[in-house]
Amino acid sequence: MFRKFENLVNPFPVLSHDTPPATLWAYIRTQLKPFHRYLPWMALTGFLVALMESGLIFYSGRLIDLMNQTGPAVFWQTHRVEVILIVLFVLFFRPLLITFNHLFLEQTLASNMQEQARWRAHRHLLGQSSSFFQNDFAGRLSNRVMQIGPAIEDSTYMAFEGIWFSVTYIIGAILILSQIDWRLGLPLTLWLVVYILYVRRIAVRVASASEKWSDARSLVTGRIVDAYANIETVKLFSHGNREEAYALSALRRLRLRFQRFLRLMTELAFGLNAINGMLMVGVVGPAVWLWTQGIVTVGEVAAASALTIRLNGMSGWIMWVTIRLFEHAGVIREGLRSIAKPQNVVDAADAAPLVVRDAQIEIQGLTHHYGKGHGGLDNVSLTIPAGQKVGLIGRSGAGKSSLVNLLLRFRDAEKGQILIDGQSVGDVSQDSLRSQIGMVTQDSSLLHRSVRANVLYGNPTATEAEMITAAKRAEAHEFIQELRDPEGRSGYDAQVGERGVKLSGGQRQRIAIARVILKDAPILILDEATSALDSEVEAAIQKTLYGVMEGKTVIAIAHRLSTIAQMDRIVVLDQGKVVEDGTHADLLAQEGLYAQLWSRQSGGFLDTTD
């Protein structure tokens, strides 16, 4: 039974990568869409449960009147059938109806919507460009993804379980009191109007306070996670006190905004109790007076009193539910600041997979200044024939990383294009493009998973033997076998820690190289690929890399010029332009920038002080 209702909706469907709506109600509608077939059932069962609850109170008054009218001697003989039917209703039908209501609300709605919202938000953020993540805290982004799920689920659940139930109950109570005497229904109606106006006034302020409070929570999370993720740097520079102060300033802001939120709660409690006092006096008082006039019965006075006392208790709950709804609205709006941002690098509607035949790269009039009008690349044109190995050098800021980022399409070029075998990288799908490019960076971060998972990231379908062969070629197999983690896992099953923190820089680099070897892509990019290795291991890895390069189109970036001197060709960038292009011997003979950089090397490294 439970599983049937839980599986009525699939919270993880494969959908198009449309940007989530940036407005609250539009976003809620998109989240409710998969549940549209079951929302009427939630509304109907909730409506019947609320009417049933108010009806039971009304019947309790009738029962008192029947007891008074017939007396104990003949009560059972006179009303036996009616009482038995009510008992059966309470014992069987009422639990069944309430159960069906909760099956729809909890198993169908609550168990799916929270993870649906998180999944969609996470999936959309994964499609964002690298620059998107560079401009925000990872902790803040993850906090927004995690918060928006419970906020949208709890809001929808409470709208049915709280607001819809309460509205139906109050309408039922007004009808019952009006049926007894219109003078009892009138004060309840007036109370409802005053109550709605007061809740609306407070709730609007709560929504604003909640959004600011949620924003402050995300900021605290971002700053704390930032310190934990870079704990080695914090300790290396002895900046524990600075990080404490950095987090403390955010915590103080969070405390201030939380206190403002709590002030509204206290103000709310005072106003609510004052309004409820008017309700009880306004309904019970007239009921007693009407009884003294012989207009209503004792049972009807009891029913009016019970309804009023129940409403007094419910009003606090209704107010809390309403406040929570507006609080969640603030959380959702705060989350949508990140989640509803359009992806700035997207596949074209008719994007086809990249088909690599020879792996020739053509760069035509490439210009990219990051929207600043300067820096980056300026009208770069370059052809790298299939299978050619090109060294790319230049001082810091010359445009090397910009060229690589545009080739990988981490950004879209402002002008010009890059072609691979005649196909523009902007016209093919991003996944197919990057699947054909293997890259080893200077700072190769690893996933917080096992060594096996990290190596197989290059090719998840590879066999165990292929994985071990790649690790051996990267000079990594030997140290991997000696790894142990605190949980007792060893070798390829050992966990490497966040970003590979449990390993040395050289070990991380070798696992990253093994991952690229296993990927075996036709285009290879090496960005200071051996910079984290000691000389002995570097020599072995360089030999391996030369073997890996065979048959591939290669772009190698290095400050250590000796590592690229054997390349087929060397391209020199300066201030975003190609200033020299040729073999190592040719460039030395030109006595230009490359020759100057070569002569100024100290220990084989590029002098970047000029």
CATH of the domain at 128: 1.20.1560.10
Last residue of a domain, one of 289, 305, 339: 339
Beta bridge partners of 417: 364
Same domain flag for 41 and 162: yes
Same domain flag for 447 and 432: no
Last residue of a domain, one of 468, 497, 520: 520
161: closest CA among 91, 203, 110? 110
**Residue tagged 């709310």 (tokens):** 268
Helix%, strand%, coil% for the chain, nearest 5: 65, 10, 25
Gap between the Cα atoms of 196 and 33, Å rounded: 29
Same domain flag for 363 and 326: no
Q: How confident is the model at residue 312 (pLDDT cuts 50, 70, 90)?
A: confident
57 belongs to a structural domain: yes
104 belongs to a structural domain: yes
Quick one: CA torsion of 151, 152, 157, 159, rounded to 10 degrees? 100
Q: How confident is the model at residue 262 (pLDDT cuts 50, 70, 90)?
A: confident
* Per-residue model confidence (pLDDT) at position 363: 93
Please name the residues in contact with 157: beta carbons below 8 A apart, sequence gap of 6 or more: 105, 106, 109, 110
Q: How far separated are the first and last CA of the chain, in Å rounded?
A: 74
Q: How many domains does the chain have?
A: 3
What is the pTM for the complete model shown?
0.73
Gap between the Cα atoms of 326 and 73, Å rounded: 56
Q: How confident is the model at residue 610 (pLDDT cuts 50, 70, 90)?
A: very low
Q: What is the CA radius of gyration of the chain?
A: 35
333 belongs to a structural domain: yes
φ, ψ dihedrals at 393, nearest 5° = -130, 165
Strand bridging mode 523-527 / 553-557: parallel
Q: Is 563 left (phi over 0), alpha (psi -120 to 50) or beta?
A: alpha
Whole-Å CA distances, 428 to 339, 358, 403, 584: 25, 16, 18, 34
Helix pair angle (165-180, 182-229), 10° resolution: 170
Distance of alpha carbon 185 from its chain centroid, rounded? 48
Same domain flag for 431 and 485: no
- Which tens digit of pLDDT belongs to each residue from 425-441? 999 998 899 999 998 88
**Could you tell me where the DSSP H helices lie in 89-126?**
94-102, 111-126
Gap between the Cα atoms of 607 and 524, Å rounded: 26
54: closest CA among 160, 180, 170? 170
* Per-residue model confidence (pLDDT) at position 534: 65
* Range 474-484 average pLDDT: 90
Same domain flag for 164 and 210: yes
Same domain flag for 421 and 448: no
Of 28-32, 220-224, 363-367, 462-466, which range is least confident? 220-224
Would you say residue 317 has pLDDT above 80?
Answer: no
Would you say residue 607 has pLDDT above 60?
Answer: no
* Range 283-310 average pLDDT: 82
* Range 90-108 average pLDDT: 90
- Domain residues for the domain of 414 are 358-436+522-529+552-610
535 belongs to a structural domain: no
CATH of the domain at 599: 3.40.50.300
Same domain flag for 265 and 124: yes
* Range 367-376 average pLDDT: 82
Last residue of a domain, one of 339, 374, 396: 339
Mean pLDDT of the chain: 84
Would you say residue 407 has pLDDT above 90?
Answer: yes
Percent of the chain with pLDDT over 90: 21
Same domain flag for 421 and 317: no
Same domain flag for 388 and 408: yes
Would you say residue 532 has pLDDT above 60?
Answer: no
Beta bridge partners of 571: 392, 581
* Range 148-163 average pLDDT: 87
Same domain flag for 247 and 137: yes
Same domain flag for 129 and 160: yes
Give the SS3 label for residue 380: strand
- Which tens digit of pLDDT belongs to each residue from 206-218? 777 877 887 888 8
- Which tens digit of pLDDT belongs to each residue from 489-518? 899 999 988 777 788 878 888 888 899 999
Who has greater pLDDT, 181 or 592?
592
Would you say residue 603 has pLDDT above 60?
Answer: no
Q: How confident is the model at residue 545 (pLDDT cuts 50, 70, 90)?
A: confident
- Which tens digit of pLDDT belongs to each residue from 557-577? 887 787 788 889 999 999 889
Of 386-400, 526-540, 573-587, which range is least confident? 526-540
6 belongs to a structural domain: no
Would you say residue 533 has pLDDT above 70?
Answer: no
Of 324-328, 341-345, 548-552, which range is least confident? 324-328
Would you say residue 62 has pLDDT above 70?
Answer: yes
Please name the residues in contact with 89: beta carbons below 8 A apart, sequence gap of 6 or more: none
Same domain flag for 424 and 453: no
